[in-house]
């Protein structure tokens, strides 16, 4: 059955199969995150992120005291994103080279739906296990800890803190989708992750090389940081009461991530599996 429009035809059966394949693979991925994989990541990230922040705030190793939330947001902008890049590379390139992808799409699963569901499932699982829950745990204990120097970190308004975590998840989604697209294009483990990590470094630590007017269209507006550590990152400014200036960067970064996934879907349909 086809629905004809003025310029194109839409194969309804193909669309249904594609959506069915997408939700089927996504359901499988999310169920895996609810099992041992999710438990492993949850324990790893809660202990790792909170242990790191406690180390630099409450011990004599780093004099960061009142910058506890700054350290938390910086940690969430670094470690989960790098993990997302590595896992996305393994998902797209690793499964392509191992033959797992060919086996899966031999079933009634559309190629585009398969890669989109894999990347979406990874983003949801990692966002919850590596960003949201570790962040909430840190927000519980940070205002109660006795810091090495300065003063006890003040707890921010909870709603603002959640929005800052949400912005971090958007950045995570950007780099997962970017890595997925690069994986479909290059199909070599190593170069894919390297390119994504170099881009992360540029967008985060070289904002002076980018026109300030472009911040609203790039993840830089959410993650920029000076190498000399002068000034807060945008999320930190927001949770302490300043206006959320990079709000437009959230929408632009999210839209770019969707475009990356769509590009990966289109290119994956043309791969020889």
Reference 135, options 170, 109, 116, 162; nearest CA is: 162
Burial class (CB in 10 A: 0-12, 13-18, 19+), 163: middle
To the nearest 10 degrees (0 to 180), the angle between helices 191-205 and 158-186 is 140
Reference 143, options 69, 61, 50; nearest CA is: 69
Residues 200 and 178: beta-carbon distance below 8 Å: no
The pLDDT score that the predictor gives to residue 258 is 94
Q: What is the C-alpha to C-alpha distance for residues 206 and 201, in angstroms, rounded to an integer?
A: 7
Model confidence pLDDT, tens digit, residues 61-92: 554 444 678 888 989 999 999 999 999 998 88
Average pLDDT, the chain: 79
Q: What is the C-alpha to C-alpha distance for residues 94 and 152, in angstroms, rounded to an integer?
A: 45
The pLDDT score that the predictor gives to residue 82 is 97
Model confidence pLDDT, tens digit, residues 97-116: 555 554 454 555 567 788 88
Taking residues 170-192, report their average pLDDT: 92
Going by pLDDT thresholds of 50, 70 and 90, the confidence category of residue 227 is low
- In the predicted model, is pLDDT for residue 246 greater than 90? no
Q: SS3 for 158?
A: helix
Query: Which residue in the block uniquely carries the two structure tokens 């507006």?
Result: 221
Tell me the whole-structure pTM to 2 decimals.
Answer: 0.84
The pLDDT score that the predictor gives to residue 148 is 53
Q: SS3 for 69?
A: helix
Q: SS3 for 176?
A: helix
- In the predicted model, is pLDDT for residue 269 greater than 70? yes
Q: Which residues contact 165 (CB under 8 A, 6 or more apart)?
A: 76, 131, 132, 135
Q: Which residues contact 190 (CB under 8 A, 6 or more apart)?
A: none
The pLDDT score that the predictor gives to residue 98 is 56
Pairing of strands 2-4, 9-11: antiparallel
- In the predicted model, is pLDDT for residue 232 greater than 80? no
Residue 149 tokens read as 């120097």
Residue-range domain boundaries for the chain: 13-268
The pLDDT score that the predictor gives to residue 97 is 58
Q: What is the DSSP string of 3-65?
A: EE-SS-EEEHHHHHHHHHHHHHHHHHHHHHHTTHHHHHHHHHHHHHHHHHHHHHHHSTT---G
The pLDDT score that the predictor gives to residue 130 is 97
Taking residues 244-255, report their average pLDDT: 82
Q: What is the C-alpha to C-alpha distance for residues 249 and 256, in angstroms, rounded to an integer?
A: 10
The pLDDT score that the predictor gives to residue 12 is 47
The pLDDT score that the predictor gives to residue 179 is 96
- In the predicted model, is pLDDT for residue 242 greater than 70? yes
The pLDDT score that the predictor gives to residue 55 is 84
Going by pLDDT thresholds of 50, 70 and 90, the confidence category of residue 4 is very low
Taking residues 133-156, report their average pLDDT: 76
Taking residues 35-53, report their average pLDDT: 94
């Amino acid at each position: 059955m086809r629905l004809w429009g003025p310029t194109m035809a839409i194969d309804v059966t193909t669309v249904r199969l594609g959506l069915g394949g997408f939700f089927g693979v996504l359901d499988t991925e999310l169920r895996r995150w609810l099992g041992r994989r999710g438990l492993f990541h949850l324990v790893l990230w809660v202990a790792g992120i909170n242990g790191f922040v406690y180390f630099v705030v409450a011990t004599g190793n780093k004099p960061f005291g009142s910058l506890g939330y700054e350290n938390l947001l910086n940690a969430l902008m670094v470690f989960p994103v790098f993990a997302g890049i590595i896992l996305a590379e393994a998902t797209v390139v690793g499964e392509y080279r191992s033959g797992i992808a060919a086996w899966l799409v031999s079933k009634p699963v559309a190629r585009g739906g398969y890669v989109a569901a894999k990347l979406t499932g990874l983003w949801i699982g990692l966002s919850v296990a590596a960003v949201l829950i570790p962040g909430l745990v840190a927000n519980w204990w940070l205002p109660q800890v006795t810091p090495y120097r300065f003063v006890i970190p003040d707890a921010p308004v909870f709603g603002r803190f959640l929005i800052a975590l949400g912005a971090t998840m958007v950045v995570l989604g950007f780099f997962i989708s970017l890595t997925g697209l690069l994986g479909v294009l290059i199909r070599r483990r190593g170069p894919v992750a390297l390119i994504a990590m170099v881009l992360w470094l540029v967008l985060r630590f070289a904002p002076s090389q980018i026109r300030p007017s472009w911040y609203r269209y790039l993840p830089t507006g959410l993650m920029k940081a000076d190498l000399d550590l002068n000034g807060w990152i945008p999320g930190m400014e927001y949770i302490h009461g300043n206006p959320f200036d990079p709000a437009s960067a959230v929408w632009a970064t999210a839209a770019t991530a969707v475009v990356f996934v769509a590009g990966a879907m289109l290119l994956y349909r043309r791969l020889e599996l």
